[in-house]
């Protein structure tokens, strides 16, 4: 794994955001804020230089399946590891599209979404990619591969697209809400959850054929990330380090204490627990109903991508080529109160 800093700041947006609110722009583009310089115990953090990761990289999403890990970011950058994140191979898609979302499919393939409304599919564990243009005028923001192999994307005007023939044809539907859908998760072949702008939460119990409201987030909260264990229990994260938890299917939400005030961009879970990552190189572990900060290098960059690459190993990545492997065993990983 690698940790590489970079003095350069900022990223040029390749496409005008005519219908995308400022909160979504914050989701899609790197946010570079000042970080603290407190001394940290970095036991359990692997941070080494790798030529595959460059200082100009801004990673957005990572996914793992059956020993293969794929990491994507700006300028069409794709990193692939076949050894649980120890080594990475680099490639770049033609046209240098900005890749913003990624998921692993049950057949061992991967799908990636680029900001120009193209879906990219790899059937050979990330070695090559085939593009599929999405026939919609709406801005797509997230993607998921359902357990039955169907490809899904979601985005503006609460639009959902699905393909059951690997991108040859697409079905389009809408929840009829003038809102951005920002997260999409399939729990199994029948159950799925989407969250979106203005605190929207919808669930499906028939594989995405129909969607029903499932309560709403407090104060029309804008979710950048979500993780649901079931249709009843889940977490959402967003601006200001806010993390909300529900245990009754979204009817009520409780804000959980967190030691950060920077945006939360992703969740990841393994046998060691549930983890949240965000701006200012933040990695948080859920302990009871409170979040505690894990030790990471002090870097004024965001972390947006997170996945479990092996037992007790959490791979996180973000701006300025920041790519880390964290040991998530509580006995080996330093946890810092901030």
Domain boundaries, given as residue ranges, for the chain: 22-336
Contact 84, 313 (CB under 8 A): yes
**Predicted local confidence at residue 297, as pLDDT:** 82
**Predicted local confidence at residue 291, as pLDDT:** 97
**Predicted local confidence at residue 50, as pLDDT:** 54
Q: Name, in order, each residue with C-beta under 8 angstroms of 328's C-beta and a sequence gap of 6 or more.
A: 44, 270, 272, 273, 275, 285, 308, 312, 313, 314
**Predicted local confidence at residue 39, as pLDDT:** 36
Confidence at 330, pLDDT banded by 50, 70, 90: confident
- Please state which of the ranges 56-65, 170-179, 324-333 shows the lowest mean pLDDT: 324-333
Summarize the chain as % helix, strand, coil (round to 5): 5, 45, 50
**Predicted local confidence at residue 22, as pLDDT:** 43
What is the rounded average pLDDT of the residues 165-177? 96
Confidence at 309, pLDDT banded by 50, 70, 90: confident
CATH topology (fold) of 22-336: Methylamine Dehydrogenase; Chain H (2.130.10)
Higher pLDDT, 177 or 38: 177
What is the rounded average pLDDT of the residues 221-238? 97
Contact 151, 143 (CB under 8 A): yes
- Please state which of the ranges 7-11, 154-158, 232-236 shows the lowest mean pLDDT: 7-11
**Predicted local confidence at residue 43, as pLDDT:** 45
Higher pLDDT, 335 or 298: 298
**Predicted local confidence at residue 66, as pLDDT:** 82
Percent of the chain surpassing pLDDT 90: 75
Confidence at 49, pLDDT banded by 50, 70, 90: very low
- Please state which of the ranges 32-36, 104-108, 164-168, 251-255 shows the lowest mean pLDDT: 32-36
Mean pLDDT of the chain: 86
Owner of token pair 């987030």: 217
Q: Name, in order, each residue with C-beta under 8 angstroms of 131's C-beta and a sequence gap of 6 or more.
A: 93, 118, 119, 120, 121
pLDDT(149) > 90: yes
Decide: helix, strand or coil at residue 195: strand
What is the rounded average pLDDT of the residues 330-337? 52
Q: What is the pTM of this model?
A: 0.84
Percent of the chain surpassing pLDDT 70: 83
The per-residue pLDDT for range 257-301, each reduced to its tens digit, is 999 999 999 999 998 999 999 999 999 999 999 999 998 887 789
Higher pLDDT, 109 or 84: 109
**Predicted local confidence at residue 51, as pLDDT:** 74
Backbone dihedral region of 198: left (phi > 0), alpha (psi from -120 to 50 degrees) or beta? left
pLDDT(28) > 80: no
**Predicted local confidence at residue 86, as pLDDT:** 87
Closest CA to 73 of 129, 118, 112: 112
Beta strands 171-174; 110-114: pairing state: unpaired
**Predicted local confidence at residue 45, as pLDDT:** 52
**Predicted local confidence at residue 310, as pLDDT:** 78
**Angstrom distance (rounded) from CA 307 to CA 141:** 19
Q: Is 6 exposed, middle or buried (0-12, 13-18, 19+ CB in 10 A)?
A: middle
pLDDT(2) > 50: no
What is the rounded average pLDDT of the residues 313-333? 88
């Amino acid at each position: 794994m690698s940790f590489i800093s970079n003095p350069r700041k900022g990223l040029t947006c390749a496409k005008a955001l005519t219908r995308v609110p400022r909160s979504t722009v914050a989701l899609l583009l790197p946010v570079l804020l000042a970080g603290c310089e407190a001394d940290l115990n970095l036991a359990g953090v692997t941070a080494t230089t790798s030529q595959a990761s460059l200082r100009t990289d801004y990673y957005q999403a990572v996914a793992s399946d059956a020993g293969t890990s794929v990491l994507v970011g700006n300028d069409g950058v794709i990193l692939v590891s076949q050894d649980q994140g120890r080594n990475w191979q680099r490639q770049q898609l033609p046209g240098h599209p900005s890749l913003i979302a990624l998921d692993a499919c049950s057949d061992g393939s991967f799908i990636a979404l680029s900001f120009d409304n193209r879906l990219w599919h790899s059937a050979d564990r990330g070695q090559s990619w085939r593009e599929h243009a999405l026939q919609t005028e709406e801005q797509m923001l997230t993607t998921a591969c359902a357990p039955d192999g169907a490809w899904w994307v979601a985005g503006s005007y609460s639009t959902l697209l699905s393909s059951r023939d690997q991108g040859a044809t697409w079905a389009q539907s809408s929840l009829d809400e003038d809102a951005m859908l920002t997260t999409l998760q399939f729990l199994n072949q029948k159950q799925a959850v989407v969250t979106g702008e203005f605190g929207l939460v919808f669930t499906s119990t028939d594989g995405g054929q129909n969607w029903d409201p499932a309560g709403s987030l407090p104060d029309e909260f804008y979710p950048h990330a979500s993780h649901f264990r079931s249709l009843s229990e889940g977490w959402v994260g967003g601006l200001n380090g806010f993390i909300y938890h529900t245990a009754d299917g979204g009817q009520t939400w409780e804000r959980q204490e967190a030691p950060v005030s920077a945006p939360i961009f992703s969740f990841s879970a393994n046998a060691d627990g549930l983890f949240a990552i965000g701006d200012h190189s933040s990695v948080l572990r859920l302990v009871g109903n409170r979040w505690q900060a894990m030790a990471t290098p002090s870097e004024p960059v965001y972390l947006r991508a997170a996945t479990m690459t092996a037992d007790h190993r959490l791979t996180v990545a973000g701006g300025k080529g920041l790519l880390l492997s964290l040991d998530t065993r509580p006995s080996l990983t330093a946890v810092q109160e901030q």
